Amino acid sequence: MGFSTNTFLFVFLLGTLAVYIPVSLILPRLRVTVLLIASVIFYAWASVSALPVLFLLIIINYLAGIAIDRSKKGLIDVKPVTALGISVFIDVAILIIFKYTKFILGISFMTLSGISYLADIYRGKVKAQINIIRYALYMAFFVKIIEGPIVRYSDVSDQIRKPEVSLERFTEGIRRFSVGLAKKVLLADQLGVVAHDILGTSNNSPALAWLGIISYTLQLYLDFSGYTDMAIGLAKMFGFDFKENFNNPYVSLSLSEFWRRWHISLSRWLRDYIYIPLGGSKSGMTYLNLFVTFLIAGFWHGATWNYCIWGAWNGLILCIERWGRRHVRFTFPVIVRRIVTLFVIVIGWVFFYFEDIGEGFRFLPTLFGYGSTWNSGFTLRWYLSQRIITILFISVIACTPIFDKMGERFRKNRLWDLFYLGLLAVSILIVMSSTFQSFLYIRY
């Protein structure tokens, strides 16, 4: 049940709000319980058979958190590091079993949330949550269970205890949700048709190949950031504040900067729970630690070679950049750095898209005119209709800070709320009249 479906919009969301708002006004102590029940229903709607795995992860990490906390206090005869190691091993084992052998929706994000919670207890950053209802909501909150963002317990521990519901937050939540839904159905889904038509065809011209991979590059960002916008908006409606997960990554001047702007919650998770524990930049094995971290990131996305290559590509370029910052004494112009960085990102997305690495390696030369059909001008003109050109133009703008600055200006004038309502209405009409296209990142 994706956020951009009729079922979610008209049945689940409206039904949940119809219960949650009166409860918030009359019995605010039951807010967490209502949200947990709604989250279980949401997950069961996707897969009833996966519910036992959800409950298993919740119970294991709940008990593990208490065990680590008590071991630190000397209340049980187990070393804290041993309790943490066993718990993380179980989490990873569950992830591998249920993601790579029998795919369970949301298993990746639940597992990362559980591991960060346990590691933070071990490090003394948070205390173990004794109330299992609150902890279960942290793990299973429906607004972030499928595609994230990866919310850390330390960021929402107080909010889970008492969600702050207000008219201002609810209004802001609707605005943010409207923007995310529009990104998904008005831009990403339209670009997806172009991208998959081209990338699914062999013997393209270089121009057509570039149009295909650029369309996919834009689609991937707008689809995933659109989901995040919707998740953040929904969270605000229910009284929660989630941190931002994207910050215009395609304007980055380096791949390092890109990873500070793209899927921020995952980038920080990789840094804090893999890169630094491996030794980070202080172990004398900085390059190896960096490369291994992104190799693991690739494997986390999927147990196929294309994701490992994608992770290795990112790790390799990051190592080269780090070496260059230390040893190269001159700096390229901003425009050159931006173009080169975007080129590196796009090449990475080629392997991200083609699960068959043979197809990926066959597609790459096409971008540079090798083994391609140059005489495809008519086909290119056919794809670049006035509608697609308009969508491409708006999509590029939506990937820049211009889009955010426009949003800030709109929020200062309440008359622009009519614009958000109009955007929501148009997006809903598209949802009602079109075939559902799932979010790209839902399988990771």
Residues noted as catalytic? 301
DSSP secondary structure, 306-353, as one string: HHHHHHHHHHHHHHHHHHHHHH------HHHHHHHHHHHHHHHHHHHH
What is the DSSP code (8-state) at residue 199?
Answer: H
Q: What is the DSSP string of 140-193?
A: H-TTTTTT-----HHHHHHHHHS----HHHHHHHHHHHHHHHHIIIIIIHHHHH
Contacts of 381 (CB under 8 A, 6+ apart): none
**Residue 117 CB coordination number (10 Å):** 27
> Is the separation of the CB atoms in 58 and 158 below 8 Å?
no
Q: What is the CA radius of gyration of the chain?
A: 23
**How far is it, in rounded angstroms, from Cα 211 to Cα 195?**
8
